[in-house]
Amino acid sequence: MKLIRIDTNSIRDWQSFHQVFKKTFGFPDYYGANGNAWIDCMTYVDDADLGMSHITVEKGEILILEVPDSEKFRENCPDIFEDLTANTAFVNWRRVELGDQPVLALLLC
């Protein structure tokens, strides 16, 4: 299990959301900065060979996204908070559909 703290204080809008995740995870230069690109990068955090993220976990390991001040983040960016939770769930659903194990968890603090 690996825990990565998300800098929610730097997230004000969609552009800053994608900047924070790209910087935190080292997404590739061609990262599209949209929901589909985020899902693609996060789906494969357990496959370092793909180069979708500098932060990786081993197969079968869970990557925990720590969301500090989650209530404040939800109040300030309700659409982004909702998409973060929905897209995290979608990543895990997608992996299960592909025969893999879930890879993400949210820790709302």
Q: Per-residue confidence at 89, pLDDT binned at 50, 70, 90? A: very high
Phi-psi region of 5 (alpha: psi -120 to 50; beta: other; left: phi over 0): beta
pLDDT of residue 29: 96
Burial of 82 (0-12, 13-18, 19+ CB in 10 A): exposed
pLDDT tens digits, 4-21:
999 999 999 999 999 999
CA–CA separation, 50 and 19 (whole Å): 20
CA–CA separation, 106 and 30 (whole Å): 26
Is the Cβ–Cβ distance between 107 and 3 less than 8 Å?
Answer: yes
Identify the structural domains of the chain with CATH numbers, from first to last. 2-108 (3.30.370.10)
Is the Cβ–Cβ distance between 5 and 68 less than 8 Å?
Answer: yes
The one-letter code for the residue type at 89 is: A
pTM for the full model? Answer: 0.95
CA–CA separation, 18 and 24 (whole Å): 10
